A and B are shown apart, each in its own frame.
Chain A
Amino acid sequence: IAGITQAPTSQILAAGRRMTLRCTQDMRHNAMYWYRQDLGLGLRLIHYSNTAGTTGKGEVPDGYSVSRANTDDFPLTLASAVPSQTSVYFCASSDSRTGGNEQFFGPGTRLTVL
């Protein structure tokens, strides 16, 4: 793989179900991010990780959890999905160690919670 990938591409989920969105990058970037994008709103940061083994809360963390066991993977888990979590989810990564400013985005996961 090259770059950053996400799975699944799309998912329809019943409310109350648990769901994990997967994100993998092969660029050895130290920082990774999860955003949600809703119509009429800017991208909103859910959680982030500046390096493997550490995570932090973003602007809208409630109802979501993340882990960063290694450099490449940064899964996002919805413990008990609710309809307000219907959104497009983007994973991104960046290499802040080299002064890199650009965030690279995955293709997104379109999640519908019914």
Chain B
Amino acid sequence: AQSVAQPEDQVNVAEGNPLTVKCTYSVSGNPYLFWYVQYPNRGLQFLLKYITGDNLVKGSYGFEAEFNKSQTSFHLKKPSALVSDSALYFCAVRDGGNAGNMLTFGGGTRLMVKP
């Protein structure tokens, strides 16, 4: 079975400071990892994914994530936070041995960026 843990319910950061949203995962095969963002009363929007290759993945809106196989982590990062980044962030994993788009999501982390 695959699972995702987002240990922080909320992350607070000042505008202009770097941000990190943590994610750890568990899969039986090779992991396919994703980050999605959800704004109030909206669906989820894709930010970035790791399938294979470089451990540092760059995505939309200046976000990036670092895949660490030994620590089974895929933390989301941004060098300089914006107030408009405030939203709910979900990490998701798919076992590479499974077909289809069955993603397992974490419980979400609310990011609050204060001016």
On whether the two chains bind one another, the answer is no
